[in-house]
Amino acid sequence: MSETLKIAVQKSGRLYEGSMKLLKECGIEISNGNNQLRVLASNFPVEVFFLRDDDIPEYVQDSVADIGFVGENVVYETKKQVDCIEKLGFGKCRLSVAVPKNGTLKTTTDLNGRRIATSYPNILSSYLEKAGINATIHEISGSVEIAPRIGLADAICDLVSSGSTLFTNELKEIETILSSESILISNSNLSDEKKIILESLLFRIRSVKKAKNNKYVLLNAPNNKLDIICKLLPGMKSPTVLPLAESGWSSVHSVINESDFWNVIEKLKANGAQGILIIPIEKMIV
């Protein structure tokens, strides 16, 4: 019987939607309509386990699951023996130290002798030790941001995405100790067959990620500016250039990286490009 690759995914919470969306974008069909905790894909040799986020590294370490989608912060906090295979590009956040906005604490040096509430005692302890800060850690789960207001702690160390929760609780960040996003982890004992399935999955994931980081561009360019415009649009190899019905003009097709987008567009317009169309790319195979 052919093997299936067992994937651990957060069953609810901030990474669930991103994980399921990524699998769908990879063309993997998974039906979890009845809130099942274990589901076979209908068109790819994977089986998905829906688990608590904090449990995923241990399940992967113990080979109950072969791979898992999980936040970097959870991997560092749990200290399980897993291989970090690929950053997935969603679920981005940061683990930060925050203090009351109108309090006397201004910098991390002020934390000496203070109490810090957190759900990440291992990461925080490591940071404090490296920074030479002697503080007491209060480990709590959930509602960390309320700790200073009820007198449990002087500061907190918690995940921050938009910062709205800190703002609501009159807290401000004074130090980011870890930047985190969703990553793909694996155990080290995959069979050869499962390694082949994993490579196929990684190929799909990387194609989806490349597509998100690039845009397809179509534009009309005067022929006397083609050399300059083509240098601005290297694409994957070189732009596609097609003659237009109107004499002296060509249609240019290429790809722009998201990070260069506006800078390149401005230069294209300055060199006579017209009718510029920007189209999202669903998949990108290179």
pLDDT tens digit string along 209-255? 988 888 899 999 999 999 999 989 876 678 999 999 999 999 999 99
The helix or strand, by DSSP H or E, that contains position 208, with its residue range, turns out to be helix 192-212
- The CATH code belonging to domain 214-280 is 3.30.70.120
Which amino acid would we find at residue 230? C
Would the pLDDT of 258 be above 90?
no
Question: 5-89+182-211 and 93-180 share one CATH topology?
Answer: yes
Answer for the pair 273, 229: CB distance below 8 angstroms, yes or no: yes
The pLDDT, as a whole number, for residue 1 is 44
Tokens linked to 85: 């295979």
**How much of the chain, in percent, has pLDDT values that exceed 90?**
79
The pLDDT, as a whole number, for residue 163 is 87
The pLDDT, as a whole number, for residue 22 is 95
**CA–CA separation, 225 vs 217, rounded Å?**
17
Tell me the per-residue pLDDT of 15-58, one tens digit each, with 9 for 90 and over: 999 999 999 999 999 986 557 889 999 999 999 999 999 999 99
Tokens linked to 63: 């080979």
Answer for the pair 184, 85: CB distance below 8 angstroms, yes or no: yes
Q: Write down the domain spans for the chain.
A: 5-89+182-211, 93-180, 214-280
The pLDDT, as a whole number, for residue 108 is 92
The helix or strand, by DSSP H or E, that contains position 39, with its residue range, turns out to be strand 38-40
pTM of the predicted model, to two decimals?
0.83
- Where is average pLDDT lowest: 62-66, 77-81, 151-155, 263-267? 263-267
Give 241's strand partners.
Answer: 252
**CA–CA separation, 238 vs 163, rounded Å?**
42
Q: CATH homologous superfamily of domain 5-89+182-211?
A: Periplasmic binding protein-like II (3.40.190.10)
Q: How far apart are the first and last CA of the chain?
A: 33
DSSP-assigned letters across all residues of 221-233: EEGGGHHHHHHH-
Once rounded to an integer, what is the mean pLDDT over residues 106-113? 94
Q: CATH homologous superfamily of domain 93-180?
A: Periplasmic binding protein-like II (3.40.190.10)
Q: Phi and psi dihedrals of 73, rounded to 5?
A: -60, -35
**Best mean pLDDT range from 10-14, 90-94, 237-241:** 90-94
Once rounded to an integer, what is the mean pLDDT over residues 178-184? 96
The pLDDT, as a whole number, for residue 34 is 59
Total residue length of the chain? 286
Residues 6+ apart with CB under 8 A from 227: none
Average pLDDT of the chain? Answer: 92
